[in-house]
Amino acid sequence: MDLKLEVIVLPVSDVDRAKAFYEALGFRLDLDRPVSEKWRAVHFTPPRSECSVMFGTGLTAAEPGSAQGLYLVVSDIEEARADLVGRGIDVSEVFHDAGGIIYHGHEAGDVVHDGGQKQERLAGPHPERASYGSFATFSDPDGNGWVLQEVTQRAPGR
């Protein structure tokens, strides 16, 4: 059986403001379909991604900003961060997690979970540039939290 994650629905409070943000981010606009005042779907796809995001009016009852831990995988974290900053996106500095190569925080970029032990962010990319080990975070205007993660070599089976 083929199962592919294709779309993630983001809860937003202002559809046009979110649309402008994701356009500035460099995502491709695939659809903006207003059906009525109570239903509108806006669909964007990140460059070279097979998974898209959708937001709008009447799509979800989730609270705006409640989507956290949305990962965008990049091959060069510093280059990706510089590109986003150049587009006017407020992106954290590049960091790595003191506990290893897995970043444990997602909520608006804050470290919030890992079984009760807070993990510490250390400045700069992972010292060995380990794949999956370097991060930067940003949020959309509603606070939906995104994580850039550098992956230079995929884990087996990916």
Cα–Cα dist 131/115, whole Å: 23
Judged by phi (left if over 0) then psi (alpha if -120 to 50, else beta), residue 86 lies in: alpha
Q: List the chain pLDDT tens, one digit each, 158 residues.
A: 999 999 999 999 999 999 999 999 999 999 999 999 999 999 999 999 999 999 999 999 999 999 998 999 999 999 999 999 999 999 999 998 877 656 555 554 554 445 555 567 789 999 888 888 899 999 999 999 999 999 998 878 76
CA nearest 11: which of 54, 64, 56? 64
